[in-house]
Structure 1
Amino acid sequence: MALDRSEDTEFVKFWNSVLEPKFTKYRHILQGGLSRHSAAVLPKLPIEAGMAVLDVGCGWGDLSLQIAERVGPEGRVVGIDCVEAFLKEARADAKEAGFANVEFRRGDAEIALPENEFDYVVSRFGTMFFTNPVAALRRMRLALKPGGQMTHIVWRRREDNPAWQTAKDIALRHLPPPGEDADTCGPGPFSMGNPEMVETMMKSAGYEDVSFTRVDEKIMVGTTPDECIAFALAIGPAGEVFREAGEELAEAKRADIEDEMRRFFESQERNEAGIWVPTSSWVISARNPA
């Protein structure tokens, strides 16, 4: 039975139609890279056996499954994402791994979340795409029981993330910046890079005890320079510049862009797995008032 997507926002439609195939193609890069940041903090989070945990923007569900193992059979995990294709893979992986305590639901955290139901809420690189971040963060807080906790991971400043920003800088040397009416995945990957601004957002959404922890990790952005270039032009800030320039102009400039990107990626650390470029994130934790 086909899903009823008649009430999807333009943002959700864009993710399901334009971005999903690209993200799925490069799942091995995206999931591998993002997981390095969550792996650096997950063991330290006060998530205990028996807890109910909500994973907002769960994607393919790898973090949800890790948390499901942590909370055990007496606990439960709900993963929510707006992209049905991601959830299909997440459900298959959960079934294959034998997890009976995790559920994946299609939903938009900016519109609706369960209320007063969870001990902990997590989100890995999802909240910075909220078009109305304070309202969405408030919905995440309201999903918590009184005294419950939340942790979300976001990218730090663009200059701290050459894995994403350098490719965009290269693209912008050859192509115009996207216009104000460009189709995008949201405010952008660095929209929560300023801790003072995000702390204000969090407090406006009703959280207490807001804290920031910095994580620096090199991530694999491709197995070869050619794959690095293809990945950069498909997903993320450089991909947006390339897409919004229009096919005729983008293709006319492709060779120059690819030559410059190849020089950059060839200058980075490389091992048998692929090419590794620095990234940096904030791990932001807070509490719902008791």
Structure 2
Amino acid sequence: MTYSTATEPQMEVDTDFVQFWNTVLAPKFFRFRHILVGGLTHHSEAVFPELPVHPGDKVLDVGCGFGDTAIQLARTVGANGHVTGVDCCDAFLDAAREDAADAGVSNVSFLRADAEKTLPRGEYDFVFARFGTMFFANPVAGLRNMRRALKPGGRMVHIVWRNRDDNPWLSMAKNIVLDYLPQPGDDAQTCGPGPFSMVNQEMVTSMMKSAGYEDIEFLRVDAPVLIGRDVEDAIAFQLAIGPAGEVFREAGALGEEKRPEIDAALAQAIEAQTTSSEGIVMPSSSWVISARNPMTSD
């Protein structure tokens, strides 16, 4: 069966947000790819078997990053299905294409697009996003574009982190770093609203209704995540990416001056965590949010 792949949306001038991902964050994500992909394996294993995706489906993976979820979805839909992975970061897409080729997965393609601006329309049975929608500067616009990418009656699922208390792997390090460094100012460069921007069910339900979805449901999933191969790796990860990394990066020279004290405090906290054969693991908790595109929609 032959598929015509989606036409790559015309990119407007990159926003500051997209430029920041391509220039500042991408190298950091590659350095800690073993955590950002492999470290989330247990969480993905708890989610993927329940996704409403079937052999033969046409699927869009929004914010696909390194392409691991898109490749996994492509294996699920099989030879008669197709998956399109979309991301705004060129380096991620290059890595995704290489990994798909190395894995011999041919029913997946990757496009560069800013989901908040434009996505293919009306083509997909299922739209998916793992830990990406939390970073939308305009979440209703991004969610609406995801819905418009669906066929009438099509399903979507996006996964977001729940509250800070249930995700100490993200919150603990920031709390420690703030003992030594100031909170970033309003003009700080950030990756978007952040990992905890969609913790509130009522607020997210309202966003999704505004974006045109029906049958909105929330499922809580708790699973461990890997935060580093060892203490040193975990500290470096926390100070490069995520809430603690943002505080440290924005502090500039002061952060480097305080680095020995910060490292010591983080080491003490991380050493108290569970160690497995993979490395250091901590609890995490997410919302798996599912919804449907109405049979009659714009």
Fold conserved between structures, TM > 0.5: yes
CA contact (8 A) 2:115 2:142 kept: yes
Q: Deviations over 1:35-68 (max 9, x none)?
A: 3322212111221111100000000111111110
Identity value in percent: 60
Instruction: Give the Cα–Cα distance (whole angstroms) in 2 for the partners of residues 35 and 271 of structure 1.
Output: 14
Which deviations, in whole Å up to 9, do the C-alpha atoms of 1:116-166 show, x marking residues without a partner?
Answer: 000000000000000000111000000000000000000001121100100
Which residue does 1:281 correspond to in 2? Answer: 286
| 2:14 equivalent to 1:35 | no
2-structure distance, mates of 1:100, 1:274 = 33
Residue 3 of structure 2 corresponds to which residue in structure 1? none
Q: Output the aligned Cα RMSD.
A: 1.2
Of 249, 254, 269, which aligns to 1:249? 254
Displacement of 1:93: 1.1
Quick one: which amino acid aligns to residue 255 of structure 1?
P
Partner AA of 1:8 in structure 2: D
Match of 2:117 among 111, 122, 125: 111
How has the CA–CA distance of structure 1 residues 55 and 264 changed in structure 2, closer, same or farther, with 3 Å as cutoff? same
- Can you list the C-alpha shifts for 1:50-90, whole angstroms capped at 9, x where unaligned? 11000000001111111101111111000000111111111
In the alignment, is residue 263 of structure 1 matched against residue 277 of structure 2? no
Query: How do residues 166-185 of structure 1 correspond to structure 2 at under 5 angstroms?
Result: 166-185=172-191
Q: Distance in 2 between matches of 1:5 and 1:143?
A: 17
Quick one: distance in 2 between partners of 1:68 and 1:142? Answer: 21
Which AA in structure 2 matches 1:275? I
Residue 215 of structure 1 aligns with an amino acid whose one-letter code is V
**Residue 183 of structure 1 aligns to a residue in which SS?**
coil
Q: Which whole-Å deviations, capped at 9, do the CAs of 1:208-264 have from their partners, x for residues lacking one?
A: 010011111111111111111011000000000001112x21112111111110011
CA distance in 2, matches of 1:24, 1:65: 18
Q: TM-score, normalised by structure 1?
A: 0.96
Secondary structure of 1:175's partner? coil
Q: Mark the CA change 1:147 to 1:5 in structure 2 (over 3 Å): closer, same or farther.
A: closer
Counterparts of 1:130-279 in structure 2 under 5 Å? Answer: 130-246=136-252, 248-279=253-284
Provide, for residues 20-41 of structure 1, a one-character-per-residue CA deviation record: whole Å limited to 9, x for no partner.
0000000001102233322212
SS at match of 2:37: helix
Stretches of structure 1 that go unaligned for 5 or more consecutive residues are none
For residues 73-114 of structure 1, give each alpha carbon's deviation from its aligned partner in whole angstroms, at most 9, with x where no partner exists.
111000000111111111011111112210011111011100
Change (3 A) 1:83 1:109: same
Q: Is the 8 A contact 2:40 2:226 kept in 1?
A: no
Q: Which residue of 1 aligns with 2:75?
A: 69
**Contact (CA 8 Å) 2:11, 2:114: kept in 1 or not?**
no
